[in-house]
Copies of this chain bind each other. A is one copy, B any other.
Amino acid sequence: MISISAQSEQLMQAFQSGFEQSSFSNGERQIMLHAVEVFSRKGFVGTKIKDIAQSAGFSQGYVYTYFKSKEDIFTRIAALASGGAGRAVRYAAQLRGTAIERIGWLTEAFLSPDSLAMQHWRLMLLLSSATDAIPDEAKRISKERQAEPIEAFIPLIIEGQNEGDVVQGDPLMLALAYFSMVQGVGLARLQTTMPLPFPTAEVVLRLLRKNG
């Protein structure tokens, strides 16, 4: 049984999109922070500049002091968010421990019901659905970074196979299975408000574990 550890907490920080820490001016960060929340509830087209401004406590026109357009806000958010998963995998890869342990910590971070982790999945969803209605630039960036987590995960799988903890098989296919599952759990969590016995990290690891 894997328990929430110091490693997992550090990992979650890497996972999260990092709007807070970024080097923005005050108004800029304030607007970004609220824009993330509104966009993830209403989508790109459904979000009106007025919604973001009101949420952040500014007037509608003030938003244009910091951002050129609605597309601009969205694209900057997409750029920050789409780096999260890859960052988390790279962070996990360089922790000390066996490969399967590190994969376990990573999985806990991904599946955390923490609100910032959930926000990540909401944003990923946004970037995957209604793709003809989101800015091209945002799409480009998110597509560009899409392979990052998978590529960084493959060495971990190979290590795990060499250590005898991970099943044999094409590492790329195993990585895709892993991320499909993790993403699916993230999505499932978003779809319901009821407290249900969602798959734990241990269950997800059954996909990879030898003698699962």
Would A187 and B197 be within 8 Å (CB), given that A43-B129, A133-B42 are in contact?
no
A169-212 interface (Cβ within 8 A of B): 170, 172-173, 176-177, 179-185, 187-188, 190-192, 196-199, 203-204, 206-207, 211-212
User: What is the CA–CA distance of A13 and B40 in the complex, to the nearest angstrom?
Assistant: 33
Known interface pairs A146-B191, A176-B197. Does A41 touch B184 (Cβ–Cβ under 8 Å)? Answer: no
Q: How far does the alpha carbon of A72 sit from the alpha carbon of B185 in the complex, in Å?
A: 31
Q: Which residues of B contact A132 (CB under 8 A)?
A: 41-42, 46
Contact A41 B131 (CB under 8 A): yes
Interface contact B180-A46, CB-CB below 8 Å: no
Q: Which residues of B contact A80 (CB under 8 A)?
A: none
Residues of B within 8 A of A170 (CB): 197
Count of chain copies: 2
Determine whether A95 belongs to the interface, using a CB cutoff of 8 Å to chain B. no
Interface contact A197-B180, CB-CB below 8 Å: no
Which of chain B's residues have a CB closer than 8 A to the CB of A211?
211
Question: Any chain B CB within 8 A of the CB of A122?
Answer: yes
Q: Which of A154-182 contact B (CB under 8 A)?
A: 170, 172-173, 176-177, 179-182
Interface residues of A (CB under 8 A from B): 40-47, 122, 125-126, 128-133, 146, 170, 172-173, 176-177, 179-185, 187-188, 190-192, 196-199, 203-204, 206-207, 211-212
Q: Name 19 extra pairs, CB < 8 A, besides A47-B133, A180-B198, A184-B184.
A: A41-B132, A43-B46, A43-B129, A45-B45, A125-B129, A128-B129, A128-B187, A129-B129, A172-B196, A173-B199, A173-B203, A176-B188, A176-B196, A177-B203, A181-B207, A182-B184, A183-B184, A183-B187, A187-B187
